[in-house]
Structure formats: structure tokens, C-alpha cells
Chain A
């Protein structure tokens, strides 16, 4: 494994409490972990476990209640948002809601250059866009002049990833990008993650409830349950040799090819 020990992101005792009237909900409860350079980690848990809340805090879209997030040695509170987002980008479950539906793909992709510190003319931009689309196996001629509603979910998700090839962030937060698409496209997305890491040295935090995908692609896996990370370790260790009862139950519920899954009572 060509992992380096340089820490890209460090999360320290991160907590988020949502308050509504007198009700308090602790969505994220004193969570700490770090992500290294070129590392792919997965944050796995059921709906409501707090995964997305963590993603939003790391992306600086949501303020934490307490705790800190350190990116490349600096607290993200002290980093200008524009500079931070040059380095940390996200992709989300529903690619359609991430795009302005009134703009064609070309316009959306050209706009993504705004975050960069270098300026490009349109010709330069288009060259980079075409290369990025080719990296995600999309024929640029097929999509550039189209509106989001003319494209399939899988195409849109890959266009989202093409943006990542343009912006070249150091860290990608991928929040359930595979849950709306079927198995062949899922496999393609995982391949793209590996490509991002190989080509650009991107660290990736993959947030998913799909344990199979997490096991396949990750270096390390964090299992989340009710706002806490209940188990963390290498993918092999966490999935093949889980310690925590919750992890064990979670893995047992996943249908595999070789182990019996349905245990109906014989009456």
C-alpha cells in the first residue's frame, strides 16, 4: 500500500447537536478520526447514524457544536471558504439537485473553474473539460450541450466526478454517490475513485451504507452508529473480523453470494 503517513484531515471530538424547541438531538457525538494523504476511507452506517452531518461539517456547510476539524494542519475556521473549497469538494447522492437545471453541462463545468486561483480562457477551459469527461468515460459530444434532465443519473454522477478531475481537490467527500444507480455504474464509480487517487493523489472519504462497496474500495472503514464511531480499522479487519456487536449485526444482514442469508423458521 502506497499510503503516506501525512495527515490530510483531522477531526477532533466533533459534536453536532440539533436543537428544536426543547428537543435536543445529538447527531454526531464526540467523533475523532484522521484521513491521510491518498487514503480512501469509508464511513459506514444506517440512515440516521450521523454520516451526512459529518460530511456537511467537513465540507464547511454546517457549523459544529463543538470540536474541531483540522485540514493540512490548520483549523478550517481559519481558512477562507473559497480556498478551503479549492481543496475539499463533495459529491452527493442526488446529482440532479447539485446542478442548476437551467444550465447546460458545458456552462456548469466552465463555472466550476471560478473556484480555482488561476484564470483560464474558454478555449483552455474546454480542453480541460473534455479531458475530464474522457477520464470518467463520457463522450463530451454526448453531454456538453445538454441540460441535466436530458441525462441519466449515472451520467450526471460521472459529470459530478468530472468536476473533481477539473478542480483537483486534495480531499473528496463522497456522500452516498452510488445509492441511486445500479451495479455496473457503481463499479464504474469505484474505479473512478481509484483513478482519482492514482492520478491526483486525492484522499477520499466515501460515505455509504453499502458494506460491500466500502469493503472493496477502502483502506480503512469507520462504522457509525447513533452519532458515534463504534468501530474503526482496516477494511479487512472491520469486515472480516468485526469486534463490535453492532458491526457484526450489520454485516450479517448483507446478502452475499455464498453464505445463507434468509433464515426462515421451519414450521
Chain B
């Protein structure tokens, strides 16, 4: 298993009017191994979608790159020109499914026209027929109806549209798929079908690795191998799925986990966490730990200095006073 993607100390901001900077990604490092699904979770506004779009290397204004590295399969994404990125990296090596991508389908084109357009953009020598044939074959392999190609977007249900998007964005067998909230706005049955499809893509080695961004932690429980918890532009805890979901150590991760409500025995007796306040304003420089203001365990040290990311037992955590796990009544959480 090799490293497919490495991100080092990445910083990016939105340039606002009046010259203000909104530091949405404020020093994020991550690695993605071959064959792995990395989940990124956090509240709305934590920067997780911005992080995803940074990974495409395109940095559309007002989003601006500030510092750090993104290395994909030995290629320096930041220093690759946009034309090369578009033609030979995006879609082929790394495929990005942005939030509500399914609503971006051109309503006046049949899905097959869209397929031909996109494929020919990346492979100019490919004929329209070949492009559509490739899509048909892929749909068949994944046991999805190939009639969707003949349909207009409005003729498909939300779930079917999203599955079509997932299939189309992996037509060129990208090594990595980055999916931003691919299941939000879908009902539970369609959510499950989308996730099953994504798992199948991995099993069939159509794609090697995935980054899955969502605020729905119960879904990550079932798809992610590792999970990163993001807050105010940085990761606060990164660990394996069981570490994060069943044994969280960062107080923030713990709060997130205790706010999960699923239909499961014992859930009705659960006390929900009381957490007030909002994440810090990313337009201002933040002193100390970003979670300190809302953290029940915060000390003066936390308010003065930002803790470093420390690694123990394969888990990384950015906290001066991590929870001790088992000593706390962890099981009431899950």
C-alpha cells in the first residue's frame, strides 16, 4: 500500500471585499493510502468543502492558495498549470464530485450528450459513439440500467441522478474520488444505494481510494477506514473509524459523537450534549485552541497557545487535555 495523496500544511483563504481574508483551510495535513476511504467530518462552515475543492488544485477566485503542498502520485498539484490539471489530471487521476453535483447537470441535454462532452474534453480522439459505449458498459458492469443515458436529468429521481453522477465521474478510472456530501438531500434508501455503488467501485478497483466529506457521522461509520474531524479550518483529531466513532479523545470529537441520534436500542435514554456558542470567526486570527471557547475542559493554557498535532497509537490529536477514553463512561455515547 503506497501513499497516493499527501497534503502538507495546506492553507487557503477566501479573499473578501475590503481585503479581509477568511481562512477556511488553515494548516491541514493529510495522507491518503492506496485502497483507503478517508472520511472528513465537521460542522457546516468548518472548511471541509473548501478543503475538497483545494485538492483539485484549481483555486477558483475568491478562493486563494496561500501555502503548503499537495502531492498526487508524485505530481506537485499546486505547481501544475491549470490546463494540464484540467486535461490530464482531473477526472483521470483524481475525480471531484462537488456538493449537489446532480443539480448541475444541464437540463436541456440527455445524459449521453453530457457523457460525450465530458469524455471528449479529456480524450479528444474519442468518438461520441465510443464515449457513450464506454458509459453503457460501465453502467452494465455496475448493474445499473443503461437507459439513463437516453434520459434527461429531470426524468431521473434524485437517487438515480446522484448514482449516475458517481458513475460518470469515475468513467476514466480515477485513482482517487473526492465526494463532497454525495448523500445529503437524498432519502435514506437512495443514500444507501449511492454508498453501495461507491463501495462497489472500490471493490472492483475502478477507483483506488476515496475522500468522503460529510457531516453525517453514521454514514462514515460504514464507509470510512479513517476519519478526520475538522473544526475552524484545521483537523482536531484523525484516527481509524473505530477510534473516532467508538473511542473519541478530543473533547470536540466526543461532543460530535454524542450528538449522533440513530434509531438504536438505548438511544432514547441518551443525554444529548449541551454545547452552546459557535465556531470562531475565520476572518479573525484565533489565539489558542480553536475549540477552547466551547470546550468544557479548556484551561488558560488552551486559551493562550494552540496545541500541536500529536500522534499516539496511530491517532493524531490536537489537544492539551485529551480525554482518557475508557476511564470516561464512553459507552453511554454509543
Contacts and interface: CB of A to CB of B under 8 A. Distances in A.
A251 B267 CA distance: 15
Contacts of A154: 44
A191 B222 contact: no
A33 interface: no
A213 B268 contact: no
B255 A184 contact: yes
Contact of A212 (B199, B203, B262): B262
A169 B40 CA distance: 41
Nearest to B220: A255
Contact of B334 (A187, A255, A257): A257
Nearest to A240: B265
A256 interface: yes
Interface in A208-260: 209-216, 235-236, 239-240, 249-251, 253-260
B159 to A, nearest CB: 11
Given A183-B256, A187-B272, A250 B262 contact: no
Given A255-B219, A255-B262, A257-B334, A209 B187 contact: yes
A73 to B, nearest CB: 32
Given A254-B262, A256-B262, A257-B260, A184 B196 contact: no
B278 A152 contact: yes
B261 interface: yes
Interface residues of B, number: 43
A253 B81 CA distance: 44
A211 B200 contact: no
B275 interface: yes
A186 B272 CA distance: 10
A240 to B, nearest CB: 7
Contacts, number: 120
A92 to B, nearest CB: 17
A260 B264 CA distance: 12
A211 B199 contact: no
Contacts of A190: 261, 272
A255 B222 contact: yes
Contacts of B43: 182, 184-185
A236 B268 contact: yes
Nearest to A137: B276
B261 A264 contact: no
Quick one: which of B188, B191, B195, B278 has the most chain A CB within 10 A? Answer: B188
B171 interface: no
Interface in B208-247: 215-219, 221-223, 245-246
A264 B256 contact: no
Contacts of A211: 188, 263
Interface string B27-67: 00000000000000001110000000000000000000000
B199 A262 contact: yes
A184 B275 contact: yes
Interface string A133-172: 0000100000000000000111100000000000000000
Contacts of A200: none
Interface in B270-305: 270, 272-276, 278
B259 interface: yes
B324 interface: no
B188 A209 contact: yes
A25 B287 CA distance: 58
Interface string B171-210: 0000000000000000111011001100110011000000
B261 A216 contact: yes
Given A182-B44, A184-B255, A215 B191 contact: no
B192 A261 contact: yes
A66 interface: no
A122 interface: no
A154 B43 CA distance: 11
B125 to A, nearest CB: 32
Interface in B59-89: none
A209 B188 CA distance: 8
A46 interface: yes
A250 B192 CA distance: 11
Contact of B264 (A137, A153, A188, A257): A257
Given A46-B187, A46-B188, A215-B263, 13 more contacts: A137-B276, A154-B44, A183-B215, A183-B261, A184-B259, A191-B272, A212-B260, A255-B222, A256-B262, A257-B246, A259-B264, A261-B222, A262-B196
21 contacts: A46-B187, A155-B278, A183-B256, A183-B261, A184-B256, A184-B275, A187-B259, A209-B188, A212-B260, A215-B261, A215-B267, A239-B263, A255-B216, A255-B218, A255-B219, A257-B245, A257-B262, A257-B264, A260-B222, A262-B223, A263-B196
